[in-house]
Structure 1
Amino acid sequence: MSGLVVTNPPRADREAVDAFAGYGVATIHEAQGRTGLLGSRLRPVWSSGRIAGSAVTVTVAPGDNTTIGVAVEQCGDGDVLVVVPTSPCEMGYVGDLLATSLQVRGVRGLVIESGVRDVADLEAMRFPVWSTCISAEGTTKGVLGDVNVPIAIGGQLVSPGDVIVADRDGVVVVPRLRARQVLAASKERDEKEARSRARYAAGEIALDVNGMRPLLERAGIRYVQHESKVEEQIP
């Protein structure tokens, strides 16, 4: 039965959530063991940079955005609204009006496995959105989904209060209880990449920076000298 609204679920530590905005989605994904990356169909509808926030999760009925309106009341400063239809639907669930309501409450962005509309207005508002499509087709009202329950979106499980980080590369989820651990791992990986970048800038190549030569030898790589005399004999 739909219509469940869980109020005030625990959220990841705010200091940790805010710190995630300093690291890219790719870095965080790698730092937590190449996990948590939502499907590549979720793309920014405009070049909004990077956000990090606590997930408020929503399920919506196909073609009905009633529950998004319900979820707005459960959102607060620093949250990211994460929405998935209970069946595939590509209608425009959110436009500038709902986005205005979310933005006023301090919501940092929207991730939705469906459509949005009023994209020019969303960009003018500077309200970040990641969606699977853009559609001018509006929705109806009257059928309920759920708010702040675990959802499956983009091939990943997202629970209320998990950390959502999104940038031009996509969207990644960090489980709430692992936030501090993954943040430390992201910092370590970012520092390692900075050292590698300096070596690349100095002229080294990946085979040496990443210590790949022993791996290539075990894989059986072979180098042969080009025989120019043989080529000269070809008519």
Structure 2
Amino acid sequence: MSAENVAGQIGLVRRNIVRADQSSVQRLSGHGVATVHEAMGRTGLMKSYLRPIYGGAHLCGTAVTVLLHPGDNWMMHVAAEQIRPGDVVVAAVTADCTDGFFGDLLATSFRARGAVGLVIDGGCRDVFDLTAMKFPVFSRAVSAKGTIKATIGSVNVPIICAGALVSPGDVVIGDDDGVVVVPASAVHETAERAASRVANEEEKRKKLAAGVLGLDMYNMRESLTKAGLKYIDD
């Protein structure tokens, strides 16, 4: 998204967004980020610097997007009004900033509205309290530095968060492996492919557990020989 496009989105709050089909969202919630990423042809993955604030954190829901300005979390409060049960708030910042945009008070407000987590390309704080609440947050940084409320951004517009395009209503999944975005239009197909992938991997897992080598299961030996690999018996 260009700087001109971002500028054109400032000062907007879209109230009536179309969210991805909930039955498909539920199906996707049972799969990990790596599986969904592979099912989409290795697309949709956010940059790896986004990390969960506590181990084992998991979220899956429809995106309410927020465009913030550095050091200013005003629009997080505006976004709270647009949250519906099952939503994930996804926040981008117009320039790099790791200030603590989010803490336990906002988490309390978000949860009361039905939010299932937050993904933010910026910082958060109150990690101890957020962990005790089991409110999943995937952030770029942890910082005690507070923010102000002075500049308007936008809610429910397309954003770029940690390198990935996120549109309102897309599905966002996060776990210990990272965060992936599934476009709302591709949710059903991705859920089907993810389920097929899991079934295929289960068969492979059984073979590997029985002692079959990946070299043989994936028919690698001939290709390795052609590539020049040689075994030497001393």
Could you state the TM-score of these two structures normalised by the residue count of structure 2?
Answer: 0.94
**Residues in 1 aligned to 2:228 and 2:219: alpha-carbon distance in whole angstroms:** 16
**Residues in 2 aligned to 1:195 and 1:49: alpha-carbon distance in whole angstroms:** 28
> Is the CA contact 1:113–1:132 (under 8 Å) kept in the aligned structure 2?
yes
- Map of 1:229 onto structure 2: none
- Map of 2:130 onto structure 1: 122
Aligned ranges 1:106-145 → 2 under 5 Å: 106-145=114-153
- Map of 1:46 onto structure 2: 54
- Map of 1:74 onto structure 2: 82
Percent identity over paired residues? 49
**Residues in 2 aligned to 1:48 and 1:111: alpha-carbon distance in whole angstroms:** 15
Q: Letter of the aligned partner of 1:103 in structure 2? A: R
Aligned ranges 1:1-235 → 2 under 5 Å: 2-226=10-234
What secondary structure, in the 3-state scheme, does the structure 2 residue paired with 1:39 have? coil
Q: Letter of the aligned partner of 1:17 in structure 2? A: V
4+ residue runs of structure 1 moved beyond 6 angstroms?
A: none
Shift of 1:216: 1.6
What secondary structure, in the 3-state scheme, does the structure 1 residue paired with 2:206 have? helix
Number of residue pairs the alignment of both structures matches: 226
* Cα deviation 1:31-62 (Å, max 9, x = unaligned): 11011111110000012432210011111011
Shift of 1:171: 0.3
**Residues in 2 aligned to 1:125 and 1:62: alpha-carbon distance in whole angstroms:** 27
**Residues in 2 aligned to 1:214 and 1:148: alpha-carbon distance in whole angstroms:** 52
* Cα RMSD, aligned residues only: 1.1
Shift of 1:106: 1.0
Shift of the 224–48 alpha-carbon distance from structure 1 to 2, 3 Å rule, reads closer
Shift of 1:221: 2.0
> Is the CA contact 1:21–1:50 (under 8 Å) kept in the aligned structure 2?
no
Q: Letter of the aligned partner of 1:155 in structure 2? A: G
Q: Letter of the aligned partner of 1:104 in structure 2? A: A
Please say which of residues 215-224 and 98-107 is displaced more in the overlay: 215-224
Structure 1 residue ranges without an equivalent (≥5): 227-235
What secondary structure, in the 3-state scheme, does the structure 1 residue paired with 2:199 have? helix
> Is the CA contact 1:48–1:128 (under 8 Å) kept in the aligned structure 2?
no
Q: Letter of the aligned partner of 2:203 in structure 1? A: R
**Residues in 2 aligned to 1:12 and 1:125: alpha-carbon distance in whole angstroms:** 27
Q: Letter of the aligned partner of 2:186 in structure 1? A: R
**Residues in 2 aligned to 1:193 and 1:17: alpha-carbon distance in whole angstroms:** 21
Q: Letter of the aligned partner of 1:224 in structure 2? A: I
> Is the CA contact 1:57–1:82 (under 8 Å) kept in the aligned structure 2?
yes
* Cα deviation 1:123-176 (Å, max 9, x = unaligned): 111100000100001100020111111111111111111110100111000111
**Residues in 1 aligned to 2:197 and 2:50: alpha-carbon distance in whole angstroms:** 25
**Residues in 2 aligned to 1:151 and 1:98: alpha-carbon distance in whole angstroms:** 21
